[in-house]
Amino acid sequence: MIEIPRKTTERAILVALNTREFNSGIVDEHLSELEELALTAGADTIMKITQDKYNPDSAYYIGKGKAEELAHLAETNEINLIIFDDDLSPVQVRNLENLLERKILDRSGLILDIFASRAKTKEAKTQVELAQLQYMLPRLTRAWTHLSKQFGGIGTKGPGETQIETDRRIIRNRISLLKEKLTKIESHRKTQSQGRKDLTRISLVGYTNAGKSTLFNLLTNAEVLAEDKLFATLDSTTRSFDIGNSQRILLSDTVGFIRKLPPHLVASFKSTLNEVRDADVILHVVDFPHPFYEDHIRVVEQTLKDLDCNKKIIIKVLNKIDLVSDKHKIQYAMNHFDNSIIISAHRGLNILKLKEMILNIVEESYVEEKIKLSLVETKKAAAIHSLAEVLSTKYNKNSMQITYRTRKENSEKIKKIIYGQK
């Protein structure tokens, strides 16, 4: 008989600063979210600690006195992992590790670890490894402890375990190679999207665990993984479905957003997030019952702004209405959010109305036109076929009349080709 070793759950203390920027209620919410992230990664939160401080201490983040108190708590409660809610500098990490003699992890490191464990496809694994290496590069001073196999467990998945003795030159070379791979992936995505020009593209975005994948499955009859966990979806998935009136739509499910999302992660997931950039319409899915759903909305809106997508047509989809009993909350949302709809993807509530909203947007964005060309203008005719859905072509002795349907922006391109070029 082969004895299979049991996976031991790491015992963690979560630490956050109570600064002038946030009140205690928001800090508690941040710690609750950090606890959920830790649980997703496989850690058991034993206690949460907050420290009132105007600014982070440059040497120990929470100050040396509080760090010494933390060391005593860790020893007494057999803690082997301490997670901080903000990013730590290499100096802070080194000092805390020396004092606490425990594995130290910050929020970015924790999120990267979760992404590493959830990455399944070659693209996702490449994106996560790139983000991890960029995160690791300025922190090589602590590689002998943080990345060594004497710790293992959370925060050591991915390149850390296999490149313990790596130096900056090797990491930079690896980063360059991964960037080249992602450039090729992005080029391949663009080639794929060339054949979708005549279709309306919609992207689902939202805070992690808002129910995007559940809605995606409902609309497209797909079988994308939908779990009540953070970051259940990493890879973007695109499917087509009929919205009504013979309209075919391309719908993409994307990775969830979260507050304090590591910038390296956003950068490395550029090829995936291009699905959002290329979208004609964005469905912003919101976990409506969540007590801080408005804070989640602001985080997503800021991320969309960072991606230069905030000026697109956006429908706020307030999801999980079946879990909300407060009528005042529902009335507030209906009055407060423009271009929004309240649904339950799990129960299928208000989905027909959502489809009607999408259909109206699609109908308004399309035009039907006719253009007369001479029989020798075959290149112009081919351009129309590439940019529009040709409904009919009537031939006369010396000319042809093409009736086509296309999006308004493509209509302008066609007119430029026909009338603006010789």
For 155-169, the pLDDT digits (tens) are: 666 555 444 455 678
Tokens of 175: 């980063």
Can you give the pLDDT at residue 229? 62
Which of the residue ranges 122-136, 140-154, 186-200, 205-219 would you say has the lowest mean pLDDT? 140-154
Neighbouring residues of 35: CB distance < 8 A, sequence distance ≥ 6: 14, 45, 48
Can you give the pLDDT at residue 124? 81
Q: Output the CA torsion 145→127→85→66 (10° steps).
A: 20
CA distances from 19 to 58, 70, 292, 303, 368 (A): 14, 19, 19, 23, 58
Distance CA 322, CA 342 (A): 10
Distance CA 171, CA 168 (A): 5
Maximum average pLDDT range among 54-68, 230-244, 400-414? 54-68
CA 41 to chain centre: 17
Can you give the pLDDT at residue 172? 87
Q: What is the mean pLDDT of residues 312-335?
A: 94
Place of tokens 């860790």: 74
Q: Give the residue from 407, 408, 409, 377 showing the smallest Cα distance to 393.
A: 377
Phi–psi pair at 343, nearest 5 degrees: -140, 175
Distance CA 145, CA 149 (A): 8
Neighbouring residues of 69: CB distance < 8 A, sequence distance ≥ 6: none
Q: Which letter does DSSP use for residue 60 in this model?
A: T
Distance CA 299, CA 67 (A): 31
- pLDDT for 394 beyond 90: yes
- pLDDT for 393 beyond 60: yes
CA distances from 350 to 206, 250, 253, 347 (A): 19, 20, 20, 9
Distance CA 174, CA 182 (A): 12
Domain covering 7-194 in this structure, CATH number: 3.40.50.11060
Question: Which residues on neighbouring strands pair with residue 317, listed in sequence order?
Answer: 285, 341
23 three-class SS: coil
Q: What is the mean pLDDT of residues 198-220?
A: 89
Q: What is the mean pLDDT of residues 370-380?
A: 91
Q: What is the pTM of this model?
A: 0.77
- pLDDT for 70 beyond 70: yes
Domain covering 197-349 in this structure, CATH number: 3.40.50.300
How many residues would you count in the chain? 422
Percent of the chain's residues with pLDDT above 70: 84
Q: What is the mean pLDDT of residues 224-236?
A: 65
pLDDT tens across 20-50, in order? 776 667 888 899 999 999 998 889 999 999 9
Can you give the pLDDT at residue 218? 92
Place of tokens 């066609």: 414
pLDDT tens across 301-316, in order? 998 888 888 888 999 9
